[in-house]
Structure 1
Amino acid sequence: MKYDAYAIEDFLTEESFVNYCLGTPQEDVLFWKKIIKEQPELKERIDKARTLFFLLAVKVDPVEKQKELNKLKLVIEGMQNIAEPTTELPQRNFIGRTSWISIAAAILLCIGVYALFNKKEYGKEIQPYAAGAKSILLKTAYNERKTLTLSDGTTVTVNGSTELKLDDHYNQEKRVLWLNGEAYFEVAGNKDKPFIVVSGTTTTTALGTSFKINNYNNRAHTLVMLNSGKVSVGELVGQKVVDHVQLSPGEKVEVTPDKFAKSTFNLEEIDNWKNRKLVFSTASLKEIKSILKEIYGIEVRSKNQPKKPISFTGTFVNEGLSEVLNAIGFSNHFTYTIKDDIVTLDFDKK
C-alpha cells in the first residue's frame, strides 16, 4: 500500500489526512478510519502524525482551522494574494504574508525536529550489503553452532546451516546484520545506534535486548521470538525499514508474505534452545517434529508412517541431532536420512 513507507511527517503532506485531523469532510474521515482498520500496523504512526498536526495548530480555533490551513497552503505555494473574508470582526489582528511565511518556516522546522526525534522508529534507511575489507561472513555447517562477540559487545549464537553477514559500516551510524538461517542475539545497549537484523525482507530492530530469529531460505516464513527488552518487527520496502509490530518479552511473531501473526510463548523455550535441551513426555510424532525443528532448525518429514501412534519420552541436553534421532528411532522403528536441513524418517514396513 501507498502509506506503508510513510514517515510520520509524510502524512501531513496529504490533504485528506489534514481533513481527517480537522474532522471534515466526512468522506476523508471515513477514508482514514478505513486505512487504520485495514492496516493496524499504521495506527501508531497515524496517531503520532495527528498529534503533530494539533501541536502545530494549537492556537487555531476549530472554526478557523480549515481557512487558516488553506491560507498557509497558498503562501507556501508562492501565491501572492490571500483572499480575506469581507465580514469584519472586532479586534481581529490581520496576519500578513510575511507573518505566514514565518509560520510556514516554523512549521517546517517543527516537522524536521519531530522527524529527527522519531528517526529511530521510522524512516531507517539500509544500504544493500556490500563486502569490504572489514566485513564478516560467517557460515555454519549442518548441526554446527558458533558463538561470536561483535565489535559493539553484542553476542550472537548461530545455529547450523546458517549464514550471517556484516559489512564495513557496522557500528557506525547503525548496526545492521543480514541473516539466513537461525541465530540468537544478545544485543549490547546503544540508544544512538539501532541494531537491525535483515532476514529476507523482514527486519527486526532493537536497541538493547535479546531475541531469536528463524529464517531459512527454503521456508516461506520468518519467526522472531523476544526474550528480553523490546523489538520492532517490520519489512524492508526498497531500502527503507517499515515497522509493523512491537514485541514484549514472551511474545513472538511469525511473518509470512501476507501477514504478521503475533502470539505468546514460554520463555523456557529460548533457554532450551540455547542449551540444546530437549524434553519429550509421551511426545507424538507431531510434537517430536516441532521440538527438533525448534532446537536444530531442521525440517522433519516422514514416510511409511505406521497406523499405531508414535510416542517417545526422554530428555537430552546438548546432544547432537544424530544422537537424538538414533534414540527416538530405536524405540519407534525408523531409520533416517539428512540432506541439508531436511530430515526424512523412514519407518519400518510391517
Structure 2
Amino acid sequence: MTKFHHYTIEELLLEDSFVHYCLATNDQAVEEWDTWLKQYPDQQKKIEAAKKLLFSLGIRLTKEEKQLELEKLKAAVQLEKQNRQLPQAWRPSGKSMVRSVVSIAAAVLLFFAGYQVSNWFSSAPVSDTRLAYEIIHSGNGERKMLELSDGSSVILNSNSRLKIPVDYNLHTRSLELEGEALFEVAPNKKKPFLVRAEQTTVAALGTVFKVRAYAFEPGLQALLLEGKIKLSSAAKPAAASFLLPGMQYSAERKTGTVSLLNFDQEQEAAWRKGRLIFRNASLEQIRETLQYWYGMEVILKKNSHKPVRFNGEFDNKELKEVMTAIAYVNNLSYTINENQLTIISR
C-alpha cells in the first residue's frame, strides 16, 4: 500500500478498499488502512479530508442534484468526443487537452462517489447492520480533541477508537467506543447522548463523563464528573445503574460483576487538563499511572531490587518523553511496541 502515500484526495476516492474503509463495510480494508496510517501518520490529515469529502457527497446529493451532475457529466464526455473528431488545426493545445481530461475525470469521480454513497444510504434498509461510520483513531501516547456536530466535545485517549455514524445528530446521538474517552455533552432532551462500549450503554442528556474499555484490562469503567448518567448492560438490560458526580461504575468481563465506587476527582481533573503528576512514586505506582494515563498495557521486568522513586510533572507530553525522564533518573530501560510498554529495572 506504499503507493497511496503519493495519492491525491481524488485518487483515494477511486480506491474501492478506501471507500470500504471509510464506510466500515469491510473488516480487511479497515485493518489494512489502520495499519497503513500507523506506518504513515503524516497522511492522517489527507485521509480525514478524503473521508469528509466522501461523506459530504453521499449526504448532500439529492436525486435532482445527482441528475444534474449526470447531465453535466454527459455534456463533458460529449465535448471530449467532439474535440477528438476535430481536424488537427482546430483541436485544443496539449495543455488545454490535459485540463479537459482532468476536468472530466474529476466530474466522473465526484458524480460516481456521490452517487454510490448516496445510493448506499438510501437503498440500505433500516434494519441493515452495515452502518456507515467515520472512525477516529488515536495512536500510542496520542490524545485527540474532537468537536461533534451537535456541539458536544470529546477527548479521545491514546490507543482508542471512536465510531461516529455519518448521520450522527440527524435523529439520534449514538457513538461506539473502544478504549477511553471523556465526553462533554451538549444538552438536548429530545436526543439522548449514547455511548456503547462492549456490552454496556451509557446514556446522558447534558453532562461530563468518561468511559474506559481497553481489551488488556479486566473490565469496563465509567466515571461521572458532572450531571447524571444511566448505564445498562446488554446481558442485564433491566438492571440499570445511575451515577451521580464523583461515582465510578465498574463491570468485570468474566464474572459480569458490577460495582459502584468513588474515584479521585482531583486526579481526573488533572487528566482532563493533560497534566501528569508523580509524587514520590514507586515503580508499581509508575506502572499503574502510565497504564491508566496512556491507555496501554505496562509490564515490569525487575532485574534489580533497588527501590525506585520518582517526582515530576508533565503537561501534555508524549509517553516517550515521560519515560525518557523516568528512565534517566532511576537508571531504567524501556521498550514501546504497539500497545505495550515494558519497563526494565537494571
- Which of the five TM-score ranges fits, normalised by the shorter chain? 0.5 to 0.7
Say if 2:287 and 2:300, in contact at 8 Å, map to a contact too: no
1:324-343 residue pairs with structure 2 within 5 A? 324-343=322-341
Aligned pairs for 1:274-293 (under 5 A) are: 274-293=272-291
Residues 200-209 or 309-318, more deviating: 309-318
2:193 pairs, out of 195, 214, 222, with 195
Q: 1:222 aligns to what SS in structure 2?
A: strand
Deviation at 1:242, TM superposition (A): 4.7
Instruction: Identify the residue that residue 248 of structure 2 maps to in structure 1.
Output: 252
Q: CA offset at residue 137 of structure 1?
A: 1.1
Paired residues of 1:130 and 1:167 also in contact (CA < 8 A): no
8 Å CA contact 1:276–1:295 kept in 2: the answer is no
TM-score by length of 2: 0.59
Residue 181 of structure 1 aligns with which residue?
179
Structure 1 residue 264: deviation in Å?
Answer: 0.6
Unpaired runs of 5+ residues, structure 1, are 1-125
Q: Is the 8 A contact 1:205 1:231 kept in 2?
A: yes
Deviates more, 1:330-339 or 1:305-314: 305-314
User: Which amino acid counterpart does residue 332 of structure 1 have in structure 2?
Assistant: N
- Asked whether the 8 Å contact 1:204–1:231 carries over to 2, the reply is yes
What is residue 318 of structure 1 aligned with on the other side? 316
Query: How many residues of Structure 1 are paired with residues of Structure 2 in the alignment?
Result: 219
- The 8 Å contact of residues 203 and 241 in structure 1, kept in 2 or not, is answered as no
State the Cα distance separating 1:229 from its structure 2 match: 0.4
CA distance in 1, matches of 2:184, 2:130: 24
| Alpha-carbon RMSD | 2.1
Q: Deviation at 1:149?
A: 1.1
Q: Is the 8 A contact 1:161 1:340 kept in 2?
A: no
Give the partner amino acid of 1:309: P
Question: After superposition, what is the alpha-carbon deviation per residue over 1:174-212, rounded to whole angstroms, capped at 9, x for unaligned?
Answer: 311000011110001111111111111111111100111
| Aligned residue type for 2:332 | F
Matching of residues 51-200 of structure 1 within 5 Å: 130-132=130-132, 135-200=133-198
Aligned to 2:80: none
Larger displacement relative to structure 2 (175-184 or 266-275): 266-275
Match of 2:264 in 1: 266
What amino acid does structure 2 have at the position aligned with 1:230? Answer: K
Change (3 A) 1:197 1:305: farther
Cα distance, 1:159 vs structure 2:
1.3
Change (3 A) 1:316 1:171: same
Q: Give, in whole Å, the separation in 2 of the partners of 1:241 and 1:150.
A: 28
Q: Is the alpha carbon distance of 1:128 and 1:207 closer, same or farther for their aligned partners in structure 2, counting shifts above 3 Å? A: farther
In structure 2, what is the Cα distance between the partners aligned to 1:152 and 1:299?
33
Q: In the aligned structure 1, how far is the partner of 2:239 from the partner of 2:189?
A: 17
How far 1:129 moved relative to its partner? Answer: 6.0
TM-score normalised to structure 1 length: 0.59
Structure 1 residue 275: Cα displacement: 2.1
Q: Highest Rg: 1 or 2? A: 1
Where 2:234 maps in the other structure, the secondary structure is: strand
Quote the Cα distance in structure 2 between the aligned partners of 1:286 and 1:211: 27
Alignment-derived partner of residue 224 in structure 2: 226
Letter in 1 for 2:220: T
Alignment partner of 1:213 is 2:174: no
> Quick check: 1:164–1:177 contact (8 Å CA) kept in 2?
yes
* CA apart distance, 1:218: 3.0
Deviation at 1:346, TM superposition (A): 1.4
Alignment match, 1:309:
307
The whole-number CA distance in structure 1 between the counterparts of 2:238 and 2:162 is 22
Q: CA deviation at 1:161?
A: 1.4
Find the aligned partners of 1:273 and 1:292 in 2 and give their Cα distance: 11
Matched to 1:316, the amino acid is F
- Percent of residue pairs identical: 35
| SS, match of residue 190 in structure 1 | coil
Alignment match, 1:16? none
